[in-house]
Structure formats: structure tokens, C-alpha cells
A and B are shown apart, each in its own frame.
Chain A
Amino acid sequence: MKNKKASPWKSIQTGLAVLLVMIVFAYGFEITNIDLEELRSPQRQTSLQRVTRALVRPDIVEFEKEEERANAPVYVPCPEDGTIPELPEPDTSGPYIVASPACAAPSESVTVEGFNFSPNSTGPVRFVPGSDPANVVELGNDTATADADGHFVAQVRLPGRESEDVQYIRATMRHNIGAPRFTETAKVTWEKIIETVFLALLATTLGTLLAIPLSFIAARNLMKPVRSPLTSVSLSLLGWPIGIGLGFLIVNQIGAMSALIADSIAANLLSVVIAPSLFWVAFRWAMPQEEIKIPSPALRLARLFVIFIGVLLAFFALFQLAELTTTISLALRPRLGAAGFLANFLFQVSDILRIITPAAGALAAGAVVGGTLGRMGQRTAERASASSVKTLNLILTAIAGATVFGLVGALIEWLYQVGRPEYTFWGPIITGAVLGFLLALFTKAKTTLPTGLVIYTVTRTILNGLRSVEALVMAIVFVIAVGIGPFAGVMALGLHTIVSLGKLYSEQVESISSGPLEAVTATGANRLQTIIYAVIPQIVPPYISYTMYRWDINVRMSTIIGFVGGGGIGFLLQQNINLLNYRAASAQMLAIAIVVASMDYVSSVLREKYV
């Protein structure tokens, strides 16, 4: 209760705090140039008015216009003798105008009356200098609007163009005919908004696909139980680069072999059909669905061999599929006409397939070699005596450390082009070896290290780091990498989607109920099976919900990613703002608003339905 007593010290503290807050806000006002005086200046207000009026009239539809012109003679100034020369009577069969009086001093006004114009037409009534009635030059900014009978009266101020000869006043009245039609701006806007929506779609798809696996290794509850002995860690660290290198070589070799028969469609077709069937047969034989007894080593070796051959065949089939798709798309393109984008899609898909097949092969081989060596290490650490494991660890960890540091050194050399091997080659290798040796020296031979937590921390750090880079900034980088256009936007938005969804997803994984996980583990399921049968069913609804949400964000982001050259409608919008073409800009803003609002609605409906 003592705390509740008022104390002068407390009051002073509160006062100081209030003062501090005021100072902070005062500084904030200063920094952000808050100045309402600016808003009151007439110059600002007229431009604001002009822009606002343009913005509320988006440049979407226009009419075919018809023009009617008529001239009326006028003298500026009145002749000195005061008599106006006889003027020809105007032709009253068509539209005509009459100026009265027919002469006036410069900068005086005359009344112009128009007859027989089209009803409700409107247009400028201006002074035509010189004595040529067909002169295209017009001066002044007076306008007139005809009534339902095609009659108007307007005051026209005469400019300071004095002449003794007759000059003219011209009314150019326009009126709409026929139905409204879309403007050029509307057409371009439509094209670009479609591009924008698909940009967002592709970025979201790409991001979601890659974020899902990432989210599992960025989830603490899944990674924390993963522990492995040092022997296993070093061996798998060595295995990954070796596997990636080997895999890349082998798959490229297969690619070269596939290229030999690339031109023959029959061979393509045959291998696309036969190779996967053979792979399936091999898979069925080598991976029995259930096995009660432990198979003999010879059988296991035979299975490994068969699977290896099967995988080689599968990669061959992938290359052949790419070739086949290319051939088909090239053959189809000229025949499809308007649907030619389908052929183009096929062609791009085949290209993507050709590019990612070696990468996928390298990664798969890395995982297999790393994993196998890791398991061997695990077994050795479990079975062998502590002292021999220790010796093994000292050697292996030193080599693994040297490899990892050497690779980092190579990366630094590539990035900064140091050009001094003692810093980027020998230095890191020796440091890595020494550090590895020390780690092995101070780690008990059979203790397990929290490898899962290390992977988790590294993944989370990368995710958080990349997430803090705005997609707009990423787009600038990708514009340099792949050129200006929507592709750069897809890459930038996709990358940002991966990292932000990766984090959101992994938080969902962390919040699942652990009961089913425990139950499935207790049946003897391994980690992969636990994820498939206990984790995935639990995270489907939040994953759908977050993906929708992200698709929403991506549509919004893709509308402005064009500001930096990332394609989509943003480029158009920025251009029109810079050209002060506010009516066109307004059309684009309207399009963005419609798309974002409808996206919002659709995603909320879908979320309600599926979650």
C-alpha cells in the first residue's frame, strides 16, 4: 500500500515524462516539415483543385465527336472614321455566328451570338488573327455551350492584335455522336492490370511452394529433438558438397546423352514413356511397402543399385520430356493463332525443366550423400569405442571445418575478388581445420550436438534478414539480374513471399498440438512420416488462410512494383503521374482499387469456405 502514497518524486517523474513526449513530438513535426500554411497558399489550392478534378474524371470512355465551325468578321480597333465597311450577310442556312458590335478596341469584349448549331454542343469561341478566315491560329480562352435549339450567346475578349483589315472570331462547337467507347488509356490499363494480377499469382505460387518445406526446418518444435553426434555432423557436412558436385556432373552427363537423341521425336516419345515405367518397376521392387524382417546386406546393396539406375533413368526421362515439350510447343505456336500463349507457356516450361533438372539432381545427390554419410557417422558413433570415435572425430571434424571454411573463402574471393590465396584459400582452410580440431577435442566423443537447433537458428536468421528487405528493393536487384519487366517483379515478390510466408508458416507449425505428434511417433514412424501424418493435417487451414492473405498482399504490391521496373500497372501509373496526365493516372488508380477490393472480397469468401 505504501506505493500508492503520493510522492513529489513521482510527480516530478510524470512531469518529466510528459515533457519528454512533447519534445519528441515537437522534433517530429520539425523533421516531417508539417506546415499547414503551405496548404492555404492559393497556388497550392488551384493545383490541388486541378488535380482533384482530373482525378475524379478517369480517362476511361470517350465519344466520337463532330465539329461545326463558323466565323464572324470583326475589326480591331474600330476604323478611325467610325464607319464599319459593309459586311457580307452570314449564310443562315447552316450554323453561323454574329459579333456585335462588329468592332471594338483591343482587350474590350464583344458579344457573340451563335445560331443553328447542334443542340448542346460546346467548344471554344476565339479570335483568329490576320485576314485569312482559314488561319489555324486562334487566340483567347472563351468557351460557349449551345442550348437545346443550338443557340448560344458568349462574351469574347479581343486580344491586342490591331489591323486595318477585317479579322475574325471563330466558334468551334463539338458534340458527341454515337455510343461511348473505351479510350486508348483504358485499353492499356486493362492490359497492364491483367499482367499485374498474373504477376501476383505467379509470385504467390512460387513463394508458397518453396515456403512450405522451409517452414518445417524453421519450426522449433520439429527441429529441437534433432540431435546428432559430431561424427555424423562432420561426415554429412563433407557429404553435401561432394554429393552436389557429383550429382551435378552425373546429371549433366545424362543431359549430354539425352541431347544426342534430342532431335528425334520418336526417341523422345519412347524414352518419356519407357523410362518412367522402368523407374516405377525399379521403385516397386526396391521399396517394398512393408517389411517385417531386416533385409540381408546383399539384398540391400542390390536395391541401392537398382534405385540408383532407376533415378538415372528418371533424370534421363526429365531431359527427354523437356526436349519433347520444346518440339511440341514450337510445332504448335504458328497454328494456335490467338491461343499462341499456350504454346509459349509450354516452351517456357520446357526451358525451366531443362534448367532446374541439373540443379534438382545436384541437390538430391547432395542430400543423399550427406544423409548416408551422416547415418554412417551416427552408427559409428553408436557402435565404436569412445577412444576410436574421438580419434575419428579429430580427423573428420578438421577436414569438415577446412571444407566449410574453404567454401566460404571461395565465395568471398568471388564476391570481393581479393586475389590473395593466403586470405581466401589457405587462410580459411587452416582456420577451419584448427577450429574443427578444437571442437572435436573439447566435445565428448559420444555426446549429441543440437544440430536441429543450429539449422533452425540459421534458417530463422536468414528469413528474418531477407524479410526486412522490402520487395520493392528486391525488385531493383532483380531488374538488374533479369531485365526490366514483369519477370523481375515475379522474382522479387516471389522471394519476399518465400521469406515472409516461411516465417508465418513455421509459427503455425510451432503452435500445433503436440498430442498427435507424440502418438504418431509412438507408432514407430520416422520424422518424415510424422510430418506427413501428424503435422500437415493440422496446418492445412492456417496455411490456406495465410496463402490467401499473401496473395492479397502480392496483388497490392504488384501494383507498385512497376515503379522500379518490375512490370505490372505501376510503371504506367508512375509515367502518367510524371507527365502530369492525371486523368490517365486516375484510370489506373481506379483499376487498382477495383482489383484490390475484389481480391479482398474473393479471398475472404474463400477463407470462410475452406478454413
Chain B
Amino acid sequence: MLQVKNLTKIYEGNVKALDNVSFEIPKGQFLAVIGLSGSGKSTLLRCINRLIDPTEGQILWDGEDITAATPDEMRRIRRRIGMVFQHFNLVHRSKVITNVLAGRLGYVNPAWSLLNRFPKEDMVKALKQLERVGIADKADSRADELSGGQQQRVGIARALMQDPNMILADEPVASLDPVLAHSIMKHLEEINKNDGVTVLCSLHFLDLVHRYADRVVALNEGKLVFEGLPKEIDDQKFKDIYGRDAERVG
């Protein structure tokens, strides 16, 4: 159970990215976060694993206060939260297998990282994750030799390496074509259903939201403007979320 309470983030220059946002996610739910570009979706996701420090408010995860965690505690918390990015954020010049293994860094002793060594079990595990996302044959390719869809699968495999209890997906399909988008979303859905991993996924397209999400929260200029089931988004709600001039596509 993740509880977000009165979360506010003000960037330098008095830009309010999040404004008093509160909501809850039960364990194992697939939650979609929607809203226009710049509405605070990315900031919200990054506040949850403290890539960005919130200005005010609290985030409780199974009762543990993430916002008050010390660096050591944060390392332990982060390693249970996988993250998938819009631009995949792979290390281009490293091999695919190394990128996947990087998901294990929260567990590996830093002294061993200095020697560039991962335990044998992790190597086996990394290959298994690549198999799970269907690109085991690419393990030794360089990450930038892969297509967009394949790179995102590597991103998912990296998140899976963390044995996550929760995955934060920041517009995971926004840079992919619709066919690939579905295949990536299916992977996330499968992880959500089979492994019971909570998924927070920010999305652009409402049809993807209808198809995959259990529940939706919507942000507009940093404020929470909607919280409920995907089917409850009617035309009026749509205009609240996306603005008066928006038109529905798909």
C-alpha cells in the first residue's frame, strides 16, 4: 500500500509542479497517471523514489516514510522500486546484459562493483529476465544497436532484476509506435498480474488506460483533478483533465 499525502513540489524559480496531491494505491494495483505534458506526472513518479525531493508532504510505503528516509534507508527502498523510462535510459555503450545487471546494484556490495563483478546467480537471473521479455539472443549486443521496442524491454528486464514490489513507469510507450506500445504494456500487465507488482504508469493515450489500468489518477497543472475507474472518464471529466479545447482521439 502506497499512500501519498499532501505532496507538493516547488522547483527553483517558484514553479509549482505538484500542488497538494493525495491518493492511495493498494498493493498489486495497476494505476495509470494521466495528464498533459507538464502537468506533473514525471515529478510525481520521481518523488516516489526520491529522484526528486518533494518540498512538502509525505509518502508512506507499507507504513515506512519514504520522504524521511536516510541515504542508507533510501538505498534499501529504491532497490524494491523498479523504474521504466520514456527514453529507456540505457547506457548505450554498455552491453545489454550489463544494463540488465545494473538493476542489481542496490543489492551488490559497492566494493565488488569497484571490481566490476556481479555474483553468478545474478548473471543467471539476468539472462532469465531477458528471456522473459523475449530478447535473450541480444544479451551481448551493445544497447544502442537495439530498436526502440527492444531497448524498452531491456529497461523492463532491468527493473525486474530488482525483485521489485512496485514499478514506476514514466510514459513507457510514448516514444514507441502503437504496435510496440501494446507489446510493452502487455509485459507490464503480465508482471502486474503474475508477480503481484504494484504498477504506477503515466500514459498519454486513453485507450491504453482503458485497456490496462485498474484505476486512474489525473493531474492538471500539479493538482489532482480526477481519481477513479477508467470508465468513469466521461466527456466532462475529459475536459477537466485535458482542458476545454481538447478533443478525444482513440
Contacts and interface: CB of A to CB of B under 8 A. Distances in A.
Interface of A: 283, 287-292, 378-379, 382, 515-516, 518-526, 528-529, 532-534, 537-538, 540-541
A372 B138 CA distance: 42
Contact of A292 (B87, B107, B118): B107
Contact of A520 (B70, B75, B102, B111): B102
A379 B94 CA distance: 36
21 contacts: A287-B109, A287-B112, A290-B107, A290-B108, A290-B119, A291-B107, A382-B70, A515-B87, A515-B89, A516-B92, A520-B102, A520-B105, A521-B78, A522-B83, A522-B168, A523-B106, A524-B74, A524-B76, A525-B113, A526-B110, A529-B108
Contacts of A291: 107, 109
Given A378-B70, A382-B70, A519-B155, 10 more contacts: A289-B109, A289-B117, A515-B88, A516-B91, A523-B103, A524-B76, A524-B107, A528-B114, A532-B113, A534-B102
A165 B85 CA distance: 110
B14 interface: no
A378 B71 contact: yes
A287 B122 CA distance: 17
The 10 closest A-B pairs by CB, nearest first: A524-B106, A524-B79, A525-B105, A515-B89, A524-B78, A519-B89, A522-B83, A289-B119, A516-B91, A529-B113
A525 B105 CA distance: 5
A291 B111 CA distance: 13
A534 B79 CA distance: 16
Nearest to A532: B113
Given A522-B49, A529-B108, A537 B94 contact: yes
B86 to A, nearest CB: 9
SS class of chain A's interface: helix, strand, loop or mixed? helix
Contacts of A532: 113-114, 116
A378 B98 CA distance: 33
Contacts of B87: 515
B51 interface: yes
B162 interface: yes
B81 interface: yes
A486 B49 CA distance: 55
Given A520-B102, A528-B110, A538 B78 contact: no
B162 A523 contact: yes
Contacts of A533: 91, 94, 98, 102, 105, 113
Contacts of B111: 283, 287
Contacts of B31: none
A519 B105 contact: no
B97 to A, nearest CB: 12
Interface residues on B, range: 35 or more
B209 interface: no
A529 B107 contact: no
B89 to A, nearest CB: 4
A541 B106 CA distance: 27
Contacts, number: 108
B51 A522 contact: yes
A540 B93 contact: yes
B200 interface: no
B143 to A, nearest CB: 9
Nearest to A525: B105
> Which of B49, B82, B89 lies at the interface centre, i.e. has the most chain A CB atoms within 10 A of its CB?
B89
Contact of B90 (A290, A519, A524, A529): A519
Nearest to B95: A537
Nearest to B75: A524
Contacts of B155: 519
A523 B167 CA distance: 11
Contacts of A382: 70
Contacts of A287: 109, 111-112
A189 B203 CA distance: 71
Nearest to A294: B76
Contacts of B122: 290
A518 B51 contact: yes
A266 B113 CA distance: 35
Contacts of A515: 85, 87-89
A528 to B, nearest CB: 5
Contacts of B108: 289-290, 529
Nearest to A528: B110
A149 to B, nearest CB: 75
Contacts of A528: 110, 113-114
B158 interface: yes
Contacts of B105: 520, 523-525, 529, 533
B244 to A, nearest CB: 34
A279 to B, nearest CB: 13
A244 to B, nearest CB: 22
B126 to A, nearest CB: 13
